[in-house]
Chain A
Amino acid sequence: MKKPESVLIIGSGPIVIGQAAEFDYAGTQACKAMTEEGVRSILVNSNPATIMTDEGVADEVYIEPLTVPVLRRIIEKERPEGLLPTLGGQVGLNLAVDLHEAGVLEEFNVRLLGTPLDAIRRAEDRELFRTAMREIGEPTPPSAVVHSLAEAREALEEIGLPVAIRPAYTLGGTGGGFVRTMEEFERVVQTGLDASPITQILIERSLLGWKEVEYEVMRDGADTCITICNMENLDPMGVHTGDSIVVAPSQTLSDKDYQMLRSASLNIIRSLGIEGGCNVQLALAPRQDVVAWPPESMRAGGGVGVPHDEPLPYYVIEVNPRVSRSSALASKATGYPIARVAAKIAAGKRLDEIANQVTGRTQAAFEPALDYCVVKIPRWPFDKFEAGDRVLGTQMKATGEVMAIDRTFEAALQKAIRSLEFGGRTVLWEDSEVEHEPFRGSETPTDVRLWHLLAAVRADLPLDEIAKRSGVDPWFLERLEAIVQMERRLLAEPLTPALMRRAKRMGFADEQIANLAGSVDERIREQRLSWGIAPVYKMVDTCAAEFDAVTPYFYSTYEDENEAEPEPGNRALVVGSGPIRIGQGIEFDYASVKAAQALRAAGWGAVMANSNPETVSTDFDTSDRLYFEPLDEEAVRDILENEDGSQNGNASANGGVASILQFGGQTAINLAGPLTSAARPILGSSADVIDLAEDRRRFERFLADLGIPQPPGTAVSSVDEAVLAADAIGYPVLVRPSYVLGGRAMEIVQGVGDLARYVTQAQAAAPGKPILIDKYLAGIEVEVDAICGGPGDDAVLIPGIMEHIERAGVHSGDSMAVYPAPNLRAGEVATIIEYTRQIGIGLGVAGLMNIQYVIMRDSDDDGDVFVLEVNPRASRTVPFLSKVTGVPMVEVAVRAMLGEKLSEQGYPGGLWPSSPLVAVKAPVFSMSKLSGVDTHLGPEMKSTGEVMGVDVDYDRALNKALIAAGMAVPSKGRALLSIAEQDKPGAMSLIRELGEAGYELHATAGTAELIRGLGYEAQVCPKREVGGDPDVIDLIRSGQIDMVINTPEQISSNIRDGFHIRRAAAEQRIPCFTSIDTAHHAVGAMLEGGADYNVAPLPDYTAGRV
């Protein structure tokens, strides 16, 4: 294929479950690859918190909604010669197909690069895929559609037990299930046929418990095919691979198995005609003593078992004809940059024409050889969503993942567990509820099954029985047993150098050894270092040391030879943000990457540490040295000591490498105290500054001394104290535990009853920990990011002020934020600037800080400004604000930390002049994927990602943000309103607008009364708890509602209708507003001409050219 002159790259949009930072990594690599090839790149993404949308990555950057009409306008303007559809996840791929089907590609003569459209279709369409597999003789699980018991019996002859039975057209698979025996089969077939309105069921061979194996494959235009990596899931078939613990390379496959599945994968990529990367998922027969499979049913004719020297049976499950989460993992696991190579193949290069950057002298046409073991563990959000259904299945639920590398599985697994950053949930954690039934937790796949498996091994349950119940290959259970045996030795034996070394080689953290050996972490560290037991660092080089490699990508292990020697010159360690979770998303990876770039630009060596394989920060291109490690005190101190050669008590070779902690979210900032105690230098705000801002009492005193007001509040430790305090402050009050991340467990409480309940529950959850009670001020919430020059520089730069659309009380991460703040009065702005300056200088912040204010107005005069919170670190809004203001905030902050005054950098203090644009940041949720979780907005953060709408005025910008977030208000149609009593006064003007605009209004009884009272028609929908038929939930589920406005009652409860209304809307994927503020503004934007939005490159907005 000929090289195009220009190419359009579609990003994957906001971070949602199933589509995370891996596509920022892929898109960024693709843009770099295009630049290297001399191809002009045009990038579109709605997600501002991405490196790919940063200046200098693509030639043209559009931050616009990912819809066909928007893309059409971009294509019309830019006239790209090619479109690269396979690097933007499922969103990018679907959009490319939609553009083709809408005739846009043909109209503007855009050709699809890389994998052709019919290959995409054959891979994505179930039936076409099965046909394609049949043609090349690759087995897919046998299945049949039948209409009677007789047909079912006949079909079973071919398929063989066990099978899965799925009735057609029933919700949630009612009437179906897995069957293992003939008796069960007859029964379930009958109930399934009865349950299906068209008397039809699908019978499919069940592969539950089979080994799940993946291959990452590449193919170029000359038909050269290679595999990059294979991966084996610890969780057998039945759990989504994104929710599985995955190990690379495969551990229990013989060479015969490995090569058989490799050949199958290459057959498949060839036959589909994919040009680029592709992920193949296969199921391989497990041990017969773990899960029985009948060999005779595997092959036509059958009758005899598989002979001993016959290959094991396998099935092809699925193919992803694009770069995926698995390919990002494979890239980081091997060092082979799949996205970059796939992009170059799309631009017409052959594999042997692409250099292997890792070795610098070999080509991309080879297969990586690993000389280590990689373990990936997903990071699930159930620490935030306790009500969520934790059972894992075919719907992915994890928000992020961690990866760890070591020379044994045990060590890699233990490092991965540390990387999850669960605090108390170390390897030793056990669920007290499962203690009495240790098998139960091993049987059901959940987010904590790994810990249950460990507990079962500790309880001395027979491994073969655990294997049978869980389907986990005994090889993995044996490894867990090895860990448990070491735990027992550490409990029982005196700690000797030999035992310590063995434990470290198995990945035991100092903390864990201290726990088991009855010591403390620091003592264990001192002891092992005095015995000369320190990690060495080995390189990820794609070739198992066969060639010299130049890529500085390292992991720790306890062996002999260290390959990461200290290097001269100024160097600093940027501590990344670990796995993506709610409250700590891709924004912090953005900041970490920018920090590394800024260090390099300032002539410093940038050292990066992170545990997240999805990110740009863990691209070996980003820093001068990358350590793929857990981000805990032990690992970071080991890295620092290795960097300056001071392990084993040697003097530091270069004066002590400093750490930069303010870009990696709470993960990194939490290390400030421990690193300071260990006498490690920190660049930027000191541990004391951080403590001053985070310690409530110190901070109160600090603000009081400056004369800056805060909502009145106090800390309490009993129900009685709480009630007294709340009486003094006045309801409503905001209550939360004293230590929070992302507003966890925060509530707004209106009266004494709820308060008593909250305090009792919180004390049960964390005995002895104080609870904070603050006056809840329902004012305008304002957020400011500022850069402080640090000691010796009295300048504080405020790149911009953002105003939240929702009143205070909705977590800032879930609020819609507008820049520049549209409704603030001049005096209020002046106060905010002054407070920000005083706080920054008073605290002694060096670098970034984020302050949240609330403004209370009771007249036409300027309102009172209160400080809600100060975070002396980069916040979630840094990428958004950097993009819309043009101030490279991270770079300015890093230069300030390195001693360059803001004025020397050309930035005066105070508020930076506003850009001639309006930008709205909107949150995006993954609620359709998390059953059981209430979707309403509140003080606890729930969103997984964000989008930006930018335009010349507020209504257009807001409308675009809503479109990009999938929350756009339909211009007409049916709206369902169910509004809580306390919100009804505030809802009146919204109802009038909807009524005037001609929406068909449906409402629950009380709300309908209000609507009629205002003079509009309203259809009453019976609540489910009243027992209507159809009730309000049925109405939503049947697709008769286009938009829901539902605000929660004060007493939150999952059994109430409001919860079910919100869940139904989430599952139906229709806009659901749970805040009157958001709904009001959204409807307003639609009615005020927001639909007439612009489409333009970001720099055109910032320069006022639109």
Chain B
Amino acid sequence: MTEHTEAALVLADGAVFRGLALGAAADTWGEVVFNTSMTGYQEMLTDPSYAGQILVLTYPLIGNYGIDPPIDESRQVQVRGLIVRSECDSPSHPRGGMRLHDYLASAGIPGIAGVDTRAITRRIRHEGVMMGMIVPTDEVEAARQQLAELPAYDTQDFIDVGVDQPYSWSDGRPQALSNGSDESGPHIVVLDEGLKYNILRNLRRRGCRVTAMPPTSGVEDILSVNPQGVLLSPGPGDPQLREFQVQTATSLIGKLPIMGICMGHQVLGRAFGADTFKLKFGHRGGNHPVLEVPTGRIAITAQNHGYAVDPDGLSADVEVTHINLHDQTVEGLAHRAEPVFSIQYHAEASPGPLDNGHLFDRFLDLIGEVQGD
């Protein structure tokens, strides 16, 4: 059994939660958010949309089934810190051998175990998300001072979270682009603002050829590789800081079928004339019900977003296709004439329910229709 030292989570409102240090022995800071999924900690830790955030998991027993590196959702652990009620130091699973603590330590990411995560969650629910720091317990006072001076989450553009070089996806992993790929199938460009690999796995599984491109890629860059469709990926941060991508999306509408997920959906929403706003404590979990307006059916969805599209400014060409049943926020948009649609939630799941993979099929159907014309 590992003997941990003590550490504290200090919140911007002055609240302090003391527990045992987990992972790397380092200080960290970020926006403190919570996720209510009961499984999928490894997928969450490696989800780039958590960049700049300290993640509180509401499910209390974390690490039970260990860590299985092949299921990482990006090239590294992305959260700034992890807060759990109880960390399992003796995982058990046919696949996962590595302990959560070792995984975080080798990634240089600190965390805290043994704290009242429900109390933190209730505080965030009432007060809204806020900045916080993980520090040794004797640095709590200093952390309180520092917190006032740290840059707010909303002011950071996180553009470096996406890739800086294009890559393809084959054999279950990212590969350097090579000319003359022998892969067939529709060619999809995925604008990687901080995507989860499972988006690429989903496209590959459906026979697509995938090129992921940096978020700073312009319309010409994208068109130069002759894609049949463009997927605007999820990613961290405030969509207001993605004006370049909004411009790119605006130019692409009408040229190619486009699917937007999460940040990609918010970017499309802005391209459609809408504003975006910050939610009080976001949607993070695997159980949010979303109404599919055209069918009346309810989808259970995986969510991870702190901002939402305000439908008021939306162009008349666009309809709201999905609505969150909990708070009536916009969860999906579709252009009435062009093959462009977006969803705020995660069709790729991982973690979360696998109920929404058909949205990738829909994207491919749109591409097929365009190709057929």
Contact = CB atoms under 8 A, between A and B. Distances in A.
B58 interface: yes
B83 to A, nearest CB: 13
B121 interface: yes
A373 B300 contact: no
Contacts of B288: 366
Interface in A249-294: 249-260, 262-263, 266, 285-288
Residue of A226, A260, A288, A369 most packed against chain B (CB within 10 A): A369
B289 A352 contact: yes
A262 B39 CA distance: 12
A259 B349 contact: yes
Contact of A365 (B40, B91, B116, B298): B298
A478 B92 contact: yes
Given A371-B118, A408-B60, A545 B93 contact: no
B205 interface: no
A254 B289 contact: no
Interface residues of A, number: 59
B338 interface: no
Nearest to B295: A222
A473 interface: yes
Contact of B289 (A222, A365, A369, A371): A365
Contacts of A250: 39
B71 A256 contact: yes
Interface in B67-114: 68, 70-71, 85-86, 88, 90-96
Interface in B7-51: 17, 34, 36-40, 42-43
Contacts of B96: 254
A561 B39 contact: no
Contacts of A372: 60
B287 A369 contact: yes
Given A408-B86, A559-B116, A222 B297 contact: yes
Contact of B92 (A263, A287, A561): A287
A546 B121 CA distance: 7
A545 B58 contact: yes
A547 B283 CA distance: 11
A782 to B, nearest CB: 55
Interface string A465-476: 000000001110
A373 B287 contact: no
B91 A475 contact: yes
Interface in A217-256: 222-224, 226, 249-256
A561 B116 contact: yes
A327 B122 CA distance: 28
Interface residues of B, number: 57
A463 to B, nearest CB: 9
Interface string B316-340: 0000000001100000000000000
A757 interface: no
Nearest to A475: B92
Given A252-B65, A371-B36, A546 B285 contact: yes
Contact of B39 (A226, A255, A365): A255
A309 interface: yes
A351 B298 contact: yes
Nearest to B65: A254
B326 A548 contact: no
Contacts of B38: 249, 258, 369-370
Contacts of B116: 559-561
Contact of B36 (A286, A369, A407, A563): A369
B118 A538 contact: yes
B351 interface: yes
Contacts of B37: 255, 369
B267 to A, nearest CB: 26
Nearest to A545: B121
A663 to B, nearest CB: 32
A408 B61 contact: yes
B207 interface: no
A286 B95 contact: no
Contact of B287 (A308, A363, A368, A478): A368
Interface stretch (B179-187, B238-246, B352-360): B352-360
Tell me the interface secondary structure of chain A in the complex: loop
B122 A561 contact: yes
A1053 interface: no
A725 interface: no
A546 B353 contact: no
Contact of A262 (B85, B93, B353): B353
Given A362-B325, A372-B60, A254 B68 contact: yes
A548 B122 CA distance: 9
A312 interface: yes
B222 interface: no
A1064 to B, nearest CB: 46
A1073 B351 CA distance: 59
Contacts of A287: 92-94
Contacts of A563: 122
A1101 to B, nearest CB: 46
Contacts of B64: 251-252, 475
Contacts of B17: 560
B36 A259 contact: no
A16 to B, nearest CB: 34
Contact of B94 (A258, A285, A407): A285
A409 interface: yes
Contacts of A408: 60-61, 85-86
A543 interface: yes
A468 to B, nearest CB: 13
A367 interface: yes
B125 A545 contact: yes
A1035 interface: no
A222 B296 CA distance: 8
A887 interface: no
Nearest to B66: A254
Contacts of B53: none
Contacts of A474: 90, 92
Residue of B117, B353, B354 most packed against chain A (CB within 10 A): B353
B94 A543 contact: no
Contacts of A260: 354
Nearest to A289: B94
Contacts of B92: 252, 287, 473-475, 478
Contact of B119 (A309, A373, A473, A560): A560
B257 interface: no
B135 interface: no
Contacts of B355: 263, 266
Contact of A367 (B40, B88, B287): B287
Contacts of A478: 90, 92
A703 B60 CA distance: 57
A371 B59 contact: yes
A367 B117 contact: no
B172 interface: yes
A756 interface: no
B289 A366 contact: yes
A728 to B, nearest CB: 64
The 5 closest A-B pairs by CB, nearest first: A255-B40, A561-B119, A475-B92, A544-B58, A367-B287
Interface of B: 1, 17, 34, 36-40, 42-43, 58-61, 64-65, 68, 70-71, 85-86, 88, 90-96, 115-119, 121-122, 125, 172, 285-289, 291, 296-298, 300, 325-326, 349-355
Interface of A: 222-224, 226, 249-260, 262-263, 266, 285-288, 308-309, 312, 350-352, 362-363, 365-373, 407-409, 473-475, 478, 485, 538, 543-548, 559-561, 563
16 contacts: A222-B298, A224-B297, A226-B298, A249-B39, A254-B39, A255-B43, A255-B352, A258-B40, A312-B95, A363-B289, A365-B325, A366-B287, A371-B118, A373-B60, A560-B115, A560-B116
Given A251-B64, A255-B351, A475-B92, 15 more contacts: A223-B297, A224-B298, A226-B289, A249-B59, A254-B71, A255-B37, A258-B40, A309-B172, A352-B289, A369-B285, A475-B90, A538-B118, A546-B34, A546-B36, A546-B125
